[in-house]
Structure 1
Amino acid sequence: MTDPTPTEASATPTTPTTAPEAPQLLGVTVGVTSDRRSGDMVATFERKGARVVHAPTMRIVPLTEDDQLLAETRDVIADPPDDVLITTGIGLRGWVEAADAAGLAAPLLETFGRARLFARGPKATGVIRANGLREEWSAASEQTAEAVQRLVTEGVAGRSIVVQLHGAADQDQLEPLRAAGARVRGVSVYRWLPPADPVAVERLVDLVATRRLDAVTFTSAPGALALLEVARRQGRLDEVVAACGNGVVACAVGDVTAEPLRAVGVEPLIPDRWRLGALLRTLTTHLAENPLACVATTAGVLRLRAQAAVLDGQVLDLAPGPLAVLRRLAEAGGAVLSREDLLAALPGAADEHAVEVTVGRLRSALPSAGLVRTVVKRGYRLDVVPR
């Protein structure tokens, strides 16, 4: 596969059209894998100065006109459950909307009103209440397993339970209910489908594997799993896992989303509150405080990002070669690096003459060519401010 860059179509970093509200993410490149509400994430990152590579790894398709959903809704109304487990807010909202379109919303909500309602977390609880209902209990962990265990503990033998399934729902998680004697019916309100642009996802995998992203975000377990599956099919899973442990920050909205990542050895950054807004704040703070390299030079503070260098608050216009050399010099912190050392930062370069040419290009892009100094017969060093 050709060497993708953030300027290619589909998996393309957008350029902020307005001045960022704060420069915390100046020079940063972030990968966004989500489909639903991705516009909010992209806009927020851009306002903070970042470039965004948007490549949804899955699509959520509501089943508002799905015959099976309507048939299951009529079954729930005709055969009312004793208990209902609501796993997602968007799922319950979509279910009620689909029922309303078929003239079934009122009897469905009446059915819910006569049952005990269990919520998988605050989002589900919020939609339950928005429909004029009250929950019996809500899971603090926001995990289906906790809600199932609560039901089992309260006793479900002989009871009829309806579970609003979600895209990541594992039927095995519902087995304890059946084993405890409950009659369990699942209702799927939306489906997860493959991405609309699989090539964009492949490019995103390459950007992660080659550490040309500062971070990649995940807002659903199926979305995280889909990216890992693409990496596995490409034979690049090990590269992706290694990159996420060194250079690329994998950020998940919560523990449920993090499960597929942890299963392959990636420990993601997770906000204290499992919400999109909290994810954005947590990741912004982390990236602002943790550039790949940061050094005080005679021309100002230099911060290195995956695909950019920011000097004294200005993004430098650097090609990949000069950027790679500058990164090595910054990491050296003012120590002298030989031409041979710098050659290792230029894959494909034939000899040390390539280093001299690249250093020349780097100097021409800097506000002061003297920022990269030549040390006769030894090599080059960055002109740093002594500590």
Structure 2
Amino acid sequence: MNHLTDTVADTSPVPRLLSTALAGCSILITVDRRSGELTSALERHGASVQQAAALTIESHIDDAALIERTQQLIADPPDVVVVTTGVGFRGWVEAADEAGLSDELIAAFRGAQIVARGPKARGAIQQAGLTADWVAESETAAELGEYLVAEGVSGKRVAVQHHGSGADGLDELFARHGAEVVSLTVYRWGPPPEPAVVRRSVRAAAAGEYDAVLFTSAPGAEAWLSEARRAEALDGIRARVADRRLVMVGVGPITAEPLAAEGIEVLIADRGRLGSLVRSVVTYFGGGNAPSHVTSAGRLELRSGGAVLDGRVISLSPTGTDVLAALFRAGGAVVSRAELQKVLPRSGQSAHAVEMAIARLRDALGVPDVIKTVVKRGYRLTVEDPL
């Protein structure tokens, strides 16, 4: 596992590879909870993973109040149980278990209508040995609230487990329609564990050091974007995404909303679970969905630290990567020496420097003919699918 912070050498066993679909990919994950599980899953497909948790989860924020309301629900079981997050519901059951009340709490829920705000919440319900009667397909509190109001909540006792911000409007909505509401907030979002790491991660994303950034919650996505704004890195990130050099991946449509609001395209996992998130990334890079060209030496794809040519992962210097990216974007068209000079460091912006950069790039690729010299004009990739 790689981290943005300095660490001692990792002597843990190398995970068994399931595939090399993510070989050469540098991936940033912005989550705190279950980050180890997600990292291991990505590494099993060959990825290099870095972590920069944008938020932390402060669980069991008021154990005394949580246990008191749990006891109230056991004594007077609810008619409806609303589960808005998987982590929150699991945390609630764990807190009840620590207090010796989990069996009684689950028994109190067995006669209730249980509704879930999305698949992660449903998974937590199933893990507790219960069954969700209805799941909001949009994963929004608004859809969940509309459904129950249409069903009728007047005179019913409704237990609502809230997400981290605790401000979804469900308590007020149900109360207005005559329900007796028992409200529980099991956790809240807290500040990032290492703010400096998050700050470095947004700058690194703008500089092209990652191939993908993964998000598992809307608050986490918004917190990471907020740091990008403060670091004046958002425009660079947006440009990388638009150029398809960076992929932003969300676990579901709600998670993607803060990114979409910034005009940033998001790859959304088919199902709102970590396994689906990993499969989406693997399918994108390993299933032929990443930008590519068919060259005289095979399929060519760019990576943040180099390229993949005919299945070979080739590490390149930042300059080599930038030069190859300029040729890649042209898609077989000629790129002039003057244009290539613009991507070189200022100390090397000369015709001779371009020639040297091309020579080093050819050597690294191991197939000189992939980059063709066009006399008096510049250079181009020898692609079989020219733009």
Q: TM-score, normalised by structure 2?
A: 0.85
CA contact (8 A) 1:16 1:49 kept: no
The equivalences for 1:222-301 within 5 A come to 222-247=219-244, 248-288=246-286, 289-297=288-296, 299-301=297-299
Change (3 A) 1:178 1:263: farther
User: Residue 308 of structure 2: SS of its match in structure 1?
Assistant: strand
CA contact (8 A) 1:19 1:49 kept: no
1:165 equivalent to 2:162? Answer yes
CA contact (8 A) 1:300 1:312 kept: yes
Change (3 A) 1:354 1:19: farther
Q: Work out the CA distance in 1 between the residues paired with 2:273 and 2:141.
A: 17
Tell me the residue number matched to 2:60. Answer: 63
CA contact (8 A) 2:4 2:197 kept: no
Q: Work out the CA distance in 2 between the residues paired with 1:216 and 1:132.
A: 34
Aligned partner letter, 1:358? A
CA contact (8 A) 1:292 1:303 kept: yes
Tell me the residue number matched to 2:358. Answer: 359
| Structure 1 residues 13-34: Cα deviation after superposition (integer angstroms, max 9, x where no partner) | x999467432322222222112
1:185 equivalent to 2:186? Answer no
Change (3 A) 1:147 1:284: same
Aligned partner letter, 2:316? L
| Structure 1 residues 61-90: Cα deviation after superposition (integer angstroms, max 9, x where no partner) | 332883332233234345544322122333
CA contact (8 A) 1:292 1:305 kept: no
How far did residue 231 of structure 1 move?
Answer: 1.3
How far did residue 373 of structure 1 move?
Answer: 4.4
Q: Work out the CA distance in 2 between the residues paired with 1:43 and 1:194.
A: 24
User: Residue 31 of structure 1: SS of its match in structure 2?
Assistant: strand
Q: Work out the CA distance in 2 between the residues paired with 1:385 and 1:128.
A: 52
Change (3 A) 1:282 1:135: closer
Aligned partner letter, 1:355? V
Aligned partner letter, 1:345? V
Change (3 A) 1:331 1:268: closer
CA contact (8 A) 2:293 2:384 kept: no
CA contact (8 A) 1:295 1:333 kept: no
Tell me the residue number matched to 1:41. Answer: 38
Change (3 A) 1:151 1:317: closer
Change (3 A) 1:175 1:379: same
Aligned partner letter, 2:181? V
1:348 equivalent to 2:332? Answer no
Aligned partner letter, 1:317? S
How far did residue 108 of structure 1 move?
Answer: 2.7
From 5, 10, 18, the equivalent of 1:9 is 5
Change (3 A) 1:336 1:22: same
How far did residue 7 of structure 1 move?
Answer: 8.1
Tell me the residue number matched to 1:221. Answer: 218
Aligned partner letter, 1:69? L
Q: TM-score, normalised by structure 1?
A: 0.85
Q: Work out the CA distance in 1 between the residues paired with 2:7 and 2:220.
A: 16
Q: CA RMSD in A?
A: 3.2
CA contact (8 A) 2:171 2:183 kept: no
From 87, 91, 105, the equivalent of 1:90 is 87
Gap runs ≥5 in structure 2: none
Gap runs ≥5 in structure 1: 1-5
User: Residue 23 of structure 1: SS of its match in structure 2?
Assistant: coil
Change (3 A) 1:185 1:342: same
User: Residue 366 of structure 2: SS of its match in structure 1?
Assistant: coil
CA contact (8 A) 1:11 1:204 kept: no
User: Residue 42 of structure 2: SS of its match in structure 1?
Assistant: helix
Tell me the residue number matched to 2:377. Answer: 378
Aligned partner letter, 1:282? S
Tell me the residue number matched to 1:312. Answer: 310
| Structure 1 residues 307-339: Cα deviation after superposition (integer angstroms, max 9, x where no partner) | 211223222232111221122233334444332
Q: Work out the CA distance in 2 between the residues paired with 1:217 and 1:53.
A: 11
| Structure 1 residues 236-283: Cα deviation after superposition (integer angstroms, max 9, x where no partner) | 333333433332221111122122222222231113322222222222
User: Residue 5 of structure 2: SS of its match in structure 1?
Assistant: coil
Tell me the residue number matched to 1:143. Answer: 140
Identity %: 45
Tell me the residue number matched to 2:329. Answer: 331
| Structure 1 residues 109-128: Cα deviation after superposition (integer angstroms, max 9, x where no partner) | 34334543333344434444
Q: Work out the CA distance in 1 between the residues paired with 2:17 and 2:338.
A: 40
1:119 equivalent to 2:104? Answer no
1:203 equivalent to 2:200? Answer yes
How far did residue 104 of structure 1 move?
Answer: 2.6
User: Residue 21 of structure 2: SS of its match in structure 1?
Assistant: helix
Aligned partner letter, 2:178? G
Aligned partner letter, 2:234? L
CA contact (8 A) 1:16 1:51 kept: no
Change (3 A) 1:337 1:244: closer
Aligned partner letter, 1:197? E
